[in-house]
Amino acid sequence: MKRFEFDLTERGQGPAVLMLPGSYATPAAWRGIQKALKSPFRTLSTSLPGYGATPEIRTDNDADISQMIEFVGQIVDAVGEPVHVAGHSWGAQLALAAVLAKRIKPLSVVCFEANPIFAQPPNGPFPWLSDIEAMVDRFEEALVAGNPEAASIIIDFYSRAGTFLGMPENVRAFCRLTAPTNLRDWRSAATFTPSFEAFAAVDLPITLVRGGATSIPIIDVTEQLAANIPGASEKVVDRAGHFLISTHPADCAEILVAHICNAER
């Protein structure tokens, strides 16, 4: 198996917590939560492939989720001790995928806005799935056409219209630069299509966190995960949207600490 390169930042001492950011993000996405933690932890974070200092591992023709699962597995191996995993958005989806594939078995997992939106509900596809697929097509067309604001299609979907334009220019510049990587993320996500019922095999403590003002797809996916993962706990952060780890770090830190304390008991 190929060995992957990745950046891995570390701070503090205590129980190990690996933090996987989402798309358009680096370890900096977790700074607010790390500062808000009231208990001592050894927090570790990486950039996912194609972001920050982590090289891309996929190609336009081969973005299968299996590569990303192995990537997550190698990071967990590198921690060198039993670890809790926290993931946001795409990072949360990858944590769940790696657990489901039995590539990792962490002490526990906290998912902030997990988005396995191509997983299959028991009663047929979600009513919004075709809209998601059409949006990704528009995103790809915008990238091919060289539209510098293509990333806004995705950012605004997960938040609200105008969110991208309201971001600081340095953040928008990073999103423009990494938009092709985000398209690969979508291609990888589309290859992760388990039934939600398959998550009944997950046998470790899971907390599913979503924003109270998040999008309908995230609400539906969170409900399906909560209904199928044995003993899963669902938490809602009032008035928060998809980017809650940045906008509501204290609330998220409180949930994370309580989850880890319960898991270690």
For 106-155, the pLDDT digits (tens) are 999 999 999 999 999 999 999 999 999 999 999 999 999 999 999 999 99
Query: And the tokens for 83?
Result: 């670890």
Provide the sign of the torsion angle of the four alpha carbons 122, 127, 132, 138, taken in this order: positive
CA 15/CA 238 separation, integer angstroms = 28
Tens-digit pLDDT profile for residues 191-238: 999 999 999 999 999 999 999 999 999 999 999 999 999 999 999 999
The model's pTM is 0.96
Domains of the chain, with CATH numbers?
A: 9-125+193-264 (3.40.50.1820), 129-187 (no CATH)
Distance of CA 72 to the CA centre of its chain: 12
